[in-house]
């Protein structure tokens, strides 16, 4: 399936940021207008896709700041969430995604035969597990693509497999991690080893696979969003505003004292100075 087939449906979608899809479903139900076989949610999709993309960006930058300051444990947990928000955004782009509705979760699927969005039971209480399963299902055709294959979650069938949620939980809840006071990331990985891996883009430990996943998912979503931007002028203006803000953030990678002085005058402070790795990666995404 060509990637353009995924994005072409957005050509005529409008952009409504007044409510989320979940709230739209509630409102439709409250007014007896909810048709589970023909959900009227098209106008809310692009805003929700871009909102999740922003959440992924902010968590990516937050992880970079944590890594610069040697908070590796929480940095990888933060990067996991960036990757997860990218999964949510990518699934909405594909037209097969999970939403919270009522007291549980529902699956919304685009029927390609009639181009109608339908509401289906999610059959799972684990939002993260279901979202990552959906991502693999939606983009499995990219597994043979060297650029994007790392964006696709493992199917957990053939060892050694990589379970993103399990690695996040291991970091967060076991006693192996959070060794930074002792100049270690874990009991067996020193902070200086983490620093070298982050700078050189060479990864020998499972936790660092989050960085490879991040790079591949950002490349994929940038490709898709740029396709939409080329066909939808309304979305193009929204996406360009965000891109301009991101470009201004990245220009501070070689922060000079005079720039800090100018910032102090005009009160235009950035979140933090992005690392060289972040600067190089985002230049490559464009």
pLDDT confidence bin for 265, thresholds 50/70/90:
low
The 10 Å CB-count burial string (b at 16+, else e) for 75-103 is: bbbbbbbbbbbbbbbbbbbbbbbbbebee
Q: How far apart are CA 236 and CA 228, in angstroms?
A: 8
Element (H, E) at 104: strand 104-111
Is the pLDDT at 260 greater than 70, yes or no?
no
Chain segment 116-155, per-residue pLDDT in tens: 999 998 776 678 989 999 999 999 999 999 999 999 998 8
pLDDT at 161: 82
Interval 91-112 mean pLDDT: 92
- Of 40, 79, 32, 87, the closest CA to residue 58 belongs to 79
For 205, the 3-state DSSP assignment is coil
Sequence length of the chain is 286
**Using an 8 Å Cβ cutoff, are 221 and 151 in contact?**
no
* CA distance to 1, 9, 117, 213, per residue, from 272 (Å): 39, 37, 41, 23
For 61, the 3-state DSSP assignment is helix
**Using an 8 Å Cβ cutoff, are 94 and 227 in contact?**
no
pLDDT confidence bin for 91, thresholds 50/70/90:
very high
pLDDT confidence bin for 282, thresholds 50/70/90:
confident
pLDDT at 246: 86
pLDDT confidence bin for 110, thresholds 50/70/90:
very high
- Hey, what are 269's tokens? 């402070």
Interval 16-27 mean pLDDT: 94
pLDDT confidence bin for 202, thresholds 50/70/90:
confident
- Domain-by-domain residue ranges, the chain? 3-285
pLDDT confidence bin for 42, thresholds 50/70/90:
very high
Interval 192-201 mean pLDDT: 91
More confident call, 274 vs 53: 53
**Using an 8 Å Cβ cutoff, are 98 and 130 in contact?**
yes
Q: How far apart are CA 260 and CA 251, in angstroms?
A: 13
């Amino acid at each position: 399936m060509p990637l353009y087939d995924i994005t072409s449906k957005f050509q005529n979608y409008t952009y409504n940021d007044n409510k989320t899809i979940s709230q739209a479903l509630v409102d439709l139900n409250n007014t007896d207008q909810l048709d589970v076989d023909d959900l009227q949610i098209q106008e809310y999709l692009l805003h929700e896709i871009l909102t999740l993309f922003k959440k992924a960006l902010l968590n990516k930058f937050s992880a970079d700041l944590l890594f610069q300051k040697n908070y590796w444990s929480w940095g990888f947990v933060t990067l996991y969430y960036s990757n997860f928000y990218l999964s949510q955004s990518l699934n909405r782009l594909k037209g097969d995604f999970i939403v919270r509705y009522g007291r549980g979760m529902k699956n919304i699927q685009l029927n390609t035969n009639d181009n109608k969005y339908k509401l289906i039971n999610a059959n799972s209480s684990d939002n993260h597990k279901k979202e990552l399963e959906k991502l693999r299902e939606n983009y499995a055709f990219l597994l043979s693509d060297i650029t994007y294959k790392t964006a696709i979650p493992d199917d957990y069938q053939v060892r050694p497999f990589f379970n993103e949620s399990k690695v996040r939980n291991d970091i967060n809840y076991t006693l192996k991690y959070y060794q930074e006071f002792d100049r270690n990331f874990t009991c067996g990985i020193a902070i200086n080893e983490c620093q070298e891996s982050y700078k050189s883009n060479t990864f020998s430990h499972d936790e660092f696979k989050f960085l490879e996943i991040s790079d591949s998912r950002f490349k994929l979503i940038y490709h898709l969003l740029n396709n939409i931007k080329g066909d939808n002028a309304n979305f193009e203006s929204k996406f360009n505003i965000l891109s301009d803000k991101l470009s201004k953030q990245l220009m501070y990678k070689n922060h000079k004292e005079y720039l800090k002085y100018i910032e102090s005058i005009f009160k235009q402070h950035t979140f933090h100075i992005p690392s060289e790795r972040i600067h190089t990666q985002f230049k490559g995404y464009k």
